[in-house]
Amino acid sequence: MEDILIFLRRTFRVNLNALTHIMQKENLNNTNTIKEKKNYKKAPLMPIHLRVFTAVLLGQIACGFSLGISGTALSSASKYITISDLWTGLIGAGSLIGLAGSILIGRLSDKIGRRKLLMLNMYVLGFLSLTQLLTNNLILIFIIRILIGLMIAVDYTVGNALLTEWLPKGEDSKGQSHLLIYWTIGFIASYLTGTFITGFGSYNWQIILSTGAIPAFIAAIFRSIFPLPASPSWLASRGKVKKANKVIKKHMGHKWGLPQKLKKAKPVKEVSWTILFSRKYLRQTLVGGLFYACQAFAFFGISIFLPILLQGMHVTDQKISGIIYNGGMFIGVLFGILIFNKISRRAFLISNFLLSSLLIGFLAINKNINSNIQLIIFCIFAIILSSGLVLDYPYPTELFDIKVRGTGVGTCITISRFGAAAGTFLLPILTNLGGANLAMITCALVLFAAFVICLIWAPETSPQFKQNN
């Protein structure tokens, strides 16, 4: 009997050990299955990436067009109605003032997500553009331009955040820099549209303004036909891990999922904008906002009111000169993309602002230069300044982590819009007071200030150069 009991005990132990081994093996297999879910940010380019990128780039074309169209429209309006320098500056700066709402848009996107805002804003932008046909009241036009700027702010902040959060690692910053090509296409297209639309008499300038509806509705319709997905990383940051993985599976397949870092991230319920001015984020906020503001001051002030500035420079053929300047701007963006990942972000910013300030300062000081040489230097300035635009989207985005990215980028854009609005508002006034030279020397001083700011404070964010910072 005792022998039987010993046998049963031994048999039970063996079976128990075997069962334990099987269970451990099963658990290991399950763990391996979980681990087999690859990080969706390391996936190759897929149709979903192309869909998101196309939706965002169409928005950028619409934004560039809507911002640029006011300059040529106001130049046309001056032929038929009397507009003071004050109202010229205010209406030109209207959309840029509206863009200051980016801080609110960024906070809203961090709270409710990216998708909802991007599915709606282009329809509203198109509708607002058309309403400019219905009134020539300058106050109402100014208000409409502010609201247009607010809709543009959605694509500036939310569109870039969604693109960064969907594109594969390495492609995200590259994709953002490439967006500037499409923004520039929209901006240049607005100049050409405004320059060549004629024959409508006193309604001509209103028709020019309303053409902003065309690219806006194209972007809106595309987003309706090919709906934008939610951001997996945003969902994860809100504790919605299962939903995030479901979105990834739907658009990329079962092999891909959230990285472990996002799975373990603590949900963020509310982000206060004041955190951006805490010790942790203060440097990023100031640099991201101030470099952008100084750049925008010169770029938008000169580009939007290029016809007025060329007139002040006593350029004989302003139409051709404007096309040449805008061509230089496009070449500059392409050049910026070419060197984007070949030099550090910090070195790019410092050299760009220094060279730009020296070139426009040289033009301002030397009043008696041959007009052809003057135009050549002006175009080189356009190339250099525009090349720095490729940093406008990726650099502020790289400065902030996912928890505060929408709010952080929105705040930087808001700060930058004060600079853009100031430049756009002041340039026609400065040109009227002291000629084109006064406007250009002001731009030179602002750009040099940006050089000093970046030299002292700008952090390195480029992955390949970051370790050396």
The CATH number assigned to the domain holding 211 equals 1.20.1250.20
Does residue 32 sit within a domain?
Answer: no
What type of residue is 421?
A
- Using a 10 angstrom Cβ sphere, with 0-12 exposed, 13-18 middle and 19 or more buried, the burial of residue 111 is middle
Greater model confidence, 14 or 95: 95
Q: C-alpha 148: how far from its chain's center?
A: 16
| DSSP annotation of 155 | I
Model pLDDT, residue 145: 95
Model pLDDT, residue 123: 96
Q: How confident is the model at residue 5 (pLDDT cuts 50, 70, 90)?
A: very low
Does residue 247 sit within a domain?
Answer: no
Residue 21: pLDDT over 70: no
Assign 230 to helix, strand or coil.
coil
Burial of 324-334, coded b for 16+ CB within 10 Å and e otherwise, reads bbbebbbbbbe
Greater model confidence, 231 or 265: 231
Q: pTM of the prediction?
A: 0.77
Cα within 13 Å of Cα(272), Cβ side? 4
- Using a 10 angstrom Cβ sphere, with 0-12 exposed, 13-18 middle and 19 or more buried, the burial of residue 65 is buried
Residue 443: pLDDT over 50: yes
Question: What are the structure tokens assigned to 129, written together?
Answer: 């553009």
Q: How confident is the model at residue 14 (pLDDT cuts 50, 70, 90)?
A: very low
Least confident of 107-116, 148-157, 248-257, 293-302: 107-116
Residue 31: pLDDT over 60: no
Q: Which domain holds residue 116?
A: 45-229+271-466
Model pLDDT, residue 397: 82
Residue 318: pLDDT over 70: no
Q: Which residues contact 345 (CB under 8 A, 6 or more apart)?
A: 391, 395, 398, 458, 460, 461, 462, 465
Assign 39 to helix, strand or coil.
strand
Cβ 325 vs Cβ 382: under 8 Å? yes
What's the structural domain count of the chain?
A: 1
* Strand spans (E) along 45-186: none
Cα within 13 Å of Cα(401), Cβ side? 10
Residue 437: pLDDT over 60: yes
> What would the mean pLDDT of 159-186 be, rounded to a whole number?
83
Residue 352: pLDDT over 60: yes
Residue 270: pLDDT over 90: no
Model pLDDT, residue 99: 81
Q: Which residues contact 22 (CB under 8 A, 6 or more apart)?
A: none
Model pLDDT, residue 467: 64
Which range, 2-6, 130-134, 175-179, is most confident? 130-134
Question: What are the structure tokens assigned to 94, written together?
Answer: 């209207």
Cβ 118 vs Cβ 222: under 8 Å? no
Does residue 395 sit within a domain?
Answer: yes
Cα within 13 Å of Cα(396), Cβ side? 33
Which range, 142-151, 171-180, 251-260, is most confident? 142-151
Tell me the pLDDT of the chain averaged across its residues: 83
In terms of residues, how long is the chain? Answer: 469
What type of residue is 363?
L
Question: What are the structure tokens assigned to 88, written together?
Answer: 């010229």
pLDDT one-digit tens code per residue, 367-426: 778 878 888 898 999 999 999 988 887 898 889 887 787 788 878 878 888 898 898 888
DSSP strand pairing (38-39 vs 256-257)? parallel
> What would the mean pLDDT of 187-194 be, rounded to a whole number?
91
Does residue 159 sit within a domain?
Answer: yes
Type and span of the H or E element at 257 = strand 256-257
Residue 56: pLDDT over 70: yes
Question: What are the structure tokens assigned to 364, written together?
Answer: 């301002």
Does residue 355 sit within a domain?
Answer: yes
Model pLDDT, residue 22: 46
Does residue 138 sit within a domain?
Answer: yes
Does residue 87 sit within a domain?
Answer: yes
Least confident of 111-115, 227-231, 328-332, 459-463: 111-115
Does residue 460 sit within a domain?
Answer: yes
Type and span of the H or E element at 356 = helix 345-365
Q: What percent of the chain has pLDDT over 70?
A: 88
Residue 153: pLDDT over 50: yes
Q: How confident is the model at residue 102 (pLDDT cuts 50, 70, 90)?
A: confident
Model pLDDT, residue 268: 56
